[in-house]
Chain A
Amino acid sequence: MAKDHKLKAALDRHKGVDHKLERQKKLQKQAEKRKKQKRKDKGQDDEELEIETFSDDEQPTKDAQALITAQLAREGVAAEAAGELEKIDGEGEGWETDESEDAEEGENGGIELGALEDESESESELDEPVRNGNGRQNGDVEEDEEEDEEDIPLSDIESLASDEKGDVISHQRLTINNTAALERSLKSFALPSSLPFSAVQSVTSAEPVQIPDIEDDLSRELAFYKQSLDAVKEARALLKKEGVPFSRPADYFAEMVKSEEQMGKVKQKMVDEAARKKASADARRQRDLKKFGKAVQVAKLQERAKAKNDTLDKINILKRKRQGADLTTKEDDMFDVALEDAATTEKTDRASKRERGAAGGPPNRKRQKKDEKFGFGGKKRFAKSNDAKSAGDGKGYSVKKMKGKGGKQQRPGKSKRAKSA
């Protein structure tokens, strides 16, 4: 057989047949074939995928992981094919960027994820799509445009789903969470752990911050404040330990983040706010006082009215008692005495009051004012002028007097007076 091979090789060389090229062509053909089949299957395929993505809503992460595994596995196979086919696609976008390295790593990632997935049930469901995906990818590696096709099904699913669902809009998408790639990129740019604390000054809180209601402004801000305060305390201790200055000395002045102007504005705003608050508090107090004063006045009036009613009632009762006094029996008389006493005392009280008012000190201010303004003791004008009564009164009238006859006798002369005397 070995001889045979050698001979064959020689013949080939003679004919100028390139085995490598042939193999490539063969692979290409295979790929095309698979592609065709895939296109046939694609309709079904997509449906399947769709069903899975929307039926397994409760475990989206698992699904997503599975899909990623599929992608990665695809990539692995693709890389194998690509190794043989050489690198035709040099474009630096999409999954086929740095072919060999990336693909290998991807493969690793895929294996890891695959191992993880053995426990999950979704693998069996996804097996078929994965295989199909492989086929698809194998066909697609050569052409650049095909790369996009790989992404289209996902978006197709999305659009189809939204069409199907109609009015109910779904915001579900397939989560991509490529943990392996994330780890890799984290490693690529992460700061070395040997840096001292003062180089970054980054603190992680001891516990995750829990905020029950994010809409509650006060509790939310308080949680942030607490987290920051704890961080500051820790940072201060660490910085002090490293000998890095922390607090600014009181005499260190430099440009601040907020300008004087801005701070002035802030202060002005605070002053205004305080003034406004004070003014409103004052106004409220005044209002309250006014309301209270009014209440007092009303109470007084009511009291007065009540007192008046009481006395009126008393008088009425008294009157009734008086009317019925003729018919009363002896028992009534006994009460009568007391009541009469009360009435008389009231009367005497009033009288004494009047007397006191007349005799004693000056009347009240209001009376004084009125006396001053209008005079005291009633009307005085026209007091001596005639009225109808006085005009009709003929008491002091005599005709004799008016004629001059009857009146007084004239005084006799001197001689007559001497004679008579």
Chain B
Amino acid sequence: MKRILRRHLSSALVVSVILGIVFIAARPEAEQSAPIPESVRLLQELDLNTQDAFQKQLYLDMASALTGDSAKYKQLWQRLVLTETQQAGLTKSQLRQKMANRRSVPVLFLMYVKFILIYLVVMALTYYGVQTLGAYLFLRYKQQNPPDVYRFLFALRRLISEPEWQTAKRLGAIGIKMLCKAMLYLLLFTPAYVIAYSIKTDFDTESVPFMILLGVISNGVLITYSNKFYHFLLNESRKGYVRTAIVKNLNNDYSICKKRGIRWRSLLALRKKFPGHVLEHIFMNARFQYFATLKEQAAFIITGLLIIEMALNIHGHLSYELLQQLLYQNYDLAALIILGIFLIVKATELVTDLAIFKEQKRLGSS
């Protein structure tokens, strides 16, 4: 356990130090980040050439003659020279944009908290969705039903040879099912920005619940990890202990909603339990393997959320700000946001590793 903690914390510390240095080094000078004083701004509007000695002398003479306080105006001139030197590398409009797009650290922190909350909800929903969908796919596989296309063709053949209303209805039902399945599959693989743009006119695509929904169903997150879980279940079901359990008369009826089979309630439950069924053991072992992929899944979910926020230009969200800070070359703030995101991934990795360690200890294999 100490080793796990040391590994993750040292990594987080090193990256924090590096990005912290970037944050400090890339931070604009205090004078530059602070708003330009009104007096200097007015002086800038006169479009004076600070390099011209004649203009400088004329300015100082006028200040002395009109106000009698030459020291104050000399200081103001020096400030003007400093400001213009700082702005030398940037055009006026670029600087204005750069400064206007800077966000204070507390504002970024609030965005960060919002991002974490959204991430946690998406993670929890995906965790549940992956196990439910994966188990459902596994049950469908075990039921050994013929492919839908085959069933459709079979019903069509029967309808042609013996036209009956019942057969036509069955054919229609299979056709609709196939269509819905194809649409659902395409939806699960569609990148979030395509879904969001296609329904932008009818829904508020910038709301948090919509973002959560997109985070769960789009970008292939749910289907990819459900499929992984399904393969864990499949590999587990081929192991010797499962065959032994079946030989010893443990229930292995994989039909859904039958007396001896699996109930919908068990399948859809938050904590899935299948007492007296061989699936209980297959599921427990597959879930243990799935824990290890949670780290990868976390990074994938974060990638998905970043894509959603950036691609949809959702103002006031962390990823949109990251893109804006990169665009206006505020690299200090960009480094700070990246550090925050890195720490979320690291925290997830740490929690996952600790959970695996705990589970291994419980099973006595540590």
Q: Do A and B come from one complex?
A: no
Q: Which residues of A contact B (CB under 8 A)?
A: none
Q: Which residues of B contact A (CB under 8 A)?
A: none
